[in-house]
Structure 1
Amino acid sequence: MGIKSFQGSRRQQNNAENTILLRVSDYMTRDLITFTADQTIESVMQSLIKNRISGGPVINDKKELIGIISEGDCIKQISESRYYNMPIQDKSIKNFITLNVETIDGNMNIFDAANKFLESKRRRFPIVENGKLVGQISQKDVLKAAMALKGQNWK
Structure 2
Amino acid sequence: MSASLRVRDYMTTDLVTVPPQTDITYVVQMLIANDISGVLVVDDSEVLVGILTERDCIATASSAGYYDELGGPASNFMTAPAETASPDENLVDVAIRMTDSPYRRFPVVEDGKLVGLISRRDVLRALGSGSWFPKNG
Q: What's the TM-score, normalizing by structure 1?
A: 0.80
Residues 26/66 of structure 1: CA separation in 2 closer, same or farther (3 Å cut): same
2:72 corresponding residue in structure 1: 91
1:58 matched to 2:27 = no
| Deviations, residues 56-112 of structure 1 (Å, cap 9, x unaligned) | 2100010000001011111111111110122x2x42222111111121111112111
Please give the secondary structure, in 1, of the residue aligned with 2:88: coil
Please give the secondary structure, in 2, of the residue aligned with 1:135: strand
- Identical positions, percent: 42
Q: Which runs of 5+ in 1 are unaligned?
A: 1-17
Residue 32 of structure 1 deviates from its aligned partner by 0.3
Residue 47 of structure 1 deviates from its aligned partner by 0.8
Task: Tell me which amino acid in the other structure corresponds to 1:23.
Answer: R
Query: How far, CA to CA, are the matches of 1:40 and 1:151 in structure 2?
Result: 41
Query: How far, CA to CA, are the matches of 2:109 and 2:38 in structure 1?
Result: 17
Match of 1:78 among 61, 65, 69: 61
Residues 19/78 of structure 1: CA separation in 2 closer, same or farther (3 Å cut): closer
**4+ residue segments displaced more than 6 Å:** none
1:128 matched to 2:120 = no
Q: Which runs of 5+ in 2 are unaligned?
A: none
Identify the structure with bigger relative contact order (alpha carbons < 8 Å, sequence gap 6+). Answer: 2
Query: How far, CA to CA, are the matches of 1:72 and 1:23 in structure 2?
Result: 28
Q: What's the TM-score, normalizing by structure 2?
A: 0.90
Larger Rg computed on CA atoms: 1
Please give the secondary structure, in 2, of the residue aligned with 1:68: strand
Query: How far, CA to CA, are the matches of 1:129 and 1:84 in structure 2?
Result: 41
Residue 153 of structure 1 deviates from its aligned partner by 2.4
Contact 2:2–2:131 at 8 Å: present in 1 too? no
Residue 19 of structure 1 deviates from its aligned partner by 4.7
Query: How far, CA to CA, are the matches of 1:20 and 1:76 in structure 2?
Result: 39
The RMSD of aligned alpha carbons is: 1.9
